[in-house]
Amino acid sequence: MTDRSLFRPVIHFDSVTSTMDVLAALARDGATSGTTVVADVQTGGRGRSGRSWAAPRGTALLMSVLLRPPGPIATWGPFALLTGLAVARAIDTHGDGRCEIKWPNDVLIGGRKVAGVLIAAREGGAPGSSALIAGIGINVTTDASGLPSRATSVMQHTGRSVSPRDLLDDVGIALAELYAEFCQGSIRDPLEEIHQRLAFRGQYVVVEDGSRRLQGWVRGVGHDGSLLLEALDGTTVAVRSGELTRGPVPVPV
Ligand code: BTN
């Protein structure tokens, strides 16, 4: 049975700069694995690659969870995808559709972004002191005026009335299950589910990582959380980080 107590204590704030910052400070002070920070609004919410993340007060689930997984942080690579999977499963309990996971850690519903995941990891000096903070932002009741273009919310997509609080419980349950599997070293089934849910699978994409630009057909994800691309020359390339966009299909010459 899932250990629901994993995500405790849940510390709820009215307003914070970013739940990531609040939880990072608690982690430095020795907070235990499972400590969760939730806020109604963020004044300096962050997304990946230095982007900001904003949501009107009370319309989104804004949370960060502290985990202290076993092993060195170099082995925590799959965590972004596993957190995305937890979010996808949680949202799916409220809708008829099936959420997709856009590598490395966006969750799409009906092809539009409904949630994002931000992972921060810090190696500690003493055993058990390393920390992983999984930040999750889910547009829950946000209407079109509060959403960036190409984004949606759970309510907009499903038409159902769901609260950020409902989703907090569902994400907690899903993440606890996946975290237990990760700690036991048994994430084969979750990786297969991520493969099935992978956005752009079989399509030609471009991944940009700083000055690096990789292109190929999306074939799946690796055990370390990398994206597996089949390049034009037929070789498989494992991409560890970057921003993915759908690319133009190459024309044979
Ligand atoms: C992304 O899509 O780029 C990731 C977005 C992550 C947003 C969440 S909201 C809760 C937590 N606090 C933050 O400042 N960011 C994450």
From the CA of 83, how far away is ligand 1's center (Å)?
12
CB-based contacts of 115, cutoff 8 Å, min separation 6: 84, 87, 91, 106, 107, 136, 137, 138, 139
d(CA 37, CA 45): 13
Pairing of strands 36-42, 10-16: parallel
Unique residue bearing structure tokens 């969760």: 36
Tell me the Cα Rg of the chain: 18
Instruction: Tell me 5's DSSP state.
Output: G
From the CA of 47, how far away is ligand 1's center (Å)?
5
- pLDDT for 96 equals 78
Residue nearest to atom 16 of ligand 1 (CA): 135
- pLDDT for 152 equals 95
Residue nearest to atom 3 of ligand 1 (CA): 47
d(CA 168, CA 87): 10
Residue nearest to atom 15 of ligand 1 (CA): 46
From the CA of 28, how far away is ligand 1's center (Å)?
20
What number of H helices and E strands is found in the chain?
5, 12
d(CA 185, CA 187): 6
Whether the CB of 137 sits within 6 Å of ligand 1: yes
- pLDDT for 41 equals 98
List the structure tokens of 183: 């700690």
List the structure tokens of 62: 């804004």
Model confidence pLDDT, tens digit, residues 201-250: 999 999 998 888 999 999 999 999 999 999 989 999 999 999 999 877 76
- pLDDT for 60 equals 97
Q: Are 140 and 155 in contact (CB under 8 A)?
A: yes
Q: Are 24 and 118 in contact (CB under 8 A)?
A: no
Q: Are 22 and 33 in contact (CB under 8 A)?
A: no
d(CA 82, CA 17): 26
Q: Which of 87, 136, 139 to mutate to test the pocket of ligand 1 (most atoms within 8 A of CB)?
A: 136
Unique residue bearing structure tokens 């969870």: 65
Q: Which of 16, 20, 102, 105 to mutate to test the pocket of ligand 1 (most atoms within 8 A of CB)?
A: 20
Q: Which residue stretches of the chain have pLDDT < 50?
A: 1-3, 5
- pLDDT for 29 equals 93
Encoded amino acid at 245, one letter: T
Give which of 253, 165, 162, 237 is closest to 205, Cα–Cα.
237
Q: Which of 46, 83, 171 to mutate to test the pocket of ligand 1 (most atoms within 8 A of CB)?
A: 46
Give which of 115, 97, 98 is closest to 106, Cα–Cα.
115
From the CA of 230, how far away is ligand 1's center (Å)?
30
From the CA of 135, how far away is ligand 1's center (Å)?
5
Mapped onto helix, strand or coil, the DSSP state of residue 52 is strand
